[in-house]
Amino acid sequence: MMRKRARAFLVGLTSLVLVVAGPVSTILADGQNHSSQGQTGSHGTHFPAPFMIGITAFVIKEVKDCATGAVIPPEKLTAEFVFKDGSQPPFPFNQLEKIILKAEGYQNREITQFMTIQIGFGVFVLTFIAPLEAGICLLPSAR
């Protein structure tokens, strides 16, 4: 009985590690700003946040083109995390000032209100941040 539980725990842990590891992402740091490339996740787009304490990623269901309603592919999106002046990495959640969503051909969109989402896996808990506002879209830039 104990072996079955241990095996089930290890299989679950392995699955968790595989899900969290995912594809390699580009993280760029510039002072108080850190950028993360969008990735396709099981529930939308996620932007890894390894520079934050206790936060796995910024997640958003989808980002649309405000003019056409078409979904912008996650790979074309970048999230720039902007932290309060004087804060030092790794950054706690309360130091996050805003996230700027960017995509080539679109105007930047600032997000300043967030909620946290926690998902438990036995003794492990993953914490994500998401915009408080639903239906995020980007305006096409003037050409």
0.85 exceeded by the pTM? no
In this structure, are residues 78 and 35 in contact, taking their beta carbons and an 8 Å threshold?
yes
- Which pLDDT tens digits describe the chain residue by residue (143 residues)? 444 443 443 334 333 333 443 444 444 445 568 999 999 988 789 999 999 999 999 999 999 999 999 999 999 999 999 999 998 889 999 999 999 999 999 999 999 999 999 999 888 999 999 999 999 999 999 86
Q: What share of the chain is helix, strand, coil (3-state, %, to 5)?
A: 20, 45, 35
What is the spatial distance between Cα 17 and Cα 87, in angstroms, rounded to a whole number? 29
In this structure, are residues 53 and 96 in contact, taking their beta carbons and an 8 Å threshold?
no
Domain range list for the chain: 24-138
Alpha helices in the chain (DSSP H): 2-21
